[in-house]
């Protein structure tokens, strides 16, 4: 069962720029269906909070797609994505190892003069 939610700053006029029309599978706390649902019940505040996270999740996913090369492939199974990610991580590790072998890091200068006895 889908639950419809309207979140707005002004219930009388429903301004276009500050009104969200949401559909969720999270039931109302205390509703008869909430007891039998595999999802936890959520009040209106929680539904709106979760929807507010959507932008950040999408931005993070876009960055991961670009960095790992997932944007080059339209359809992949979960197993294929995990294998691809493993290969990318291995390639990155080899590149990193090669870089640090050729250019070993120098010890950081503490800024304090050394004292000798």
Neighbours of 42 (CB within 10 A): 20
- Provide the domain limits for residue 26: 1-52
**13 within domain boundaries:** yes
**Residue 69 counted as domain residue:** no
Q: What is the pLDDT of residue 116?
A: 58
Q: What is d(CA 7, CA 21) in angstroms, rounded to the nearest whole number?
A: 7
pLDDT tens for 61-116 read: 888 778 777 777 666 788 888 888 889 889 888 988 898 888 877 776 656 665 55
**Residue 12 within any structural domain of the chain:** yes
Q: Which burial class, exposed, middle or buried, applies to 35 when counting CB atoms under 10 A from its CB (0-12, 13-18, 19+)?
A: exposed
**Is 40 domain-assigned?**
yes
- Residue 77 maps to a domain: no
pLDDT at 6: 92
Domain assignment present for residue 72? The answer is no
Q: Model-level pTM?
A: 0.50
Which residue's entry shows tokens 């979140």? 7
Give the count of domains, the chain: 1
């Amino acid at each position: 069962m889908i639950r419809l939610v309207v979140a707005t700053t002004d219930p009388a006029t429903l301004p276009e720029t500050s009104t969200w029309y949401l559909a969720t599978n999270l039931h109302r706390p205390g509703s008869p269906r909430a007891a039998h649902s595999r999802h936890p019940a959520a009040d209106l505040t929680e539904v709106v909070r979760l929807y507010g996270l959507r932008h950040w999740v999408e931005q993070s996913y876009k960055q991961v797609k670009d960095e790992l090369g997932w944007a080059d492939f339209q359809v992949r199974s979960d197993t294929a994505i995990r294998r691809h990610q493993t290969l990318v991580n291995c390639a990155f590790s080899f590149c990193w190892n090669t870089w640090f072998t050729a250019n070993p890091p120098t010890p950081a200068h503490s800024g304090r003069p050394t004292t000798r006895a």
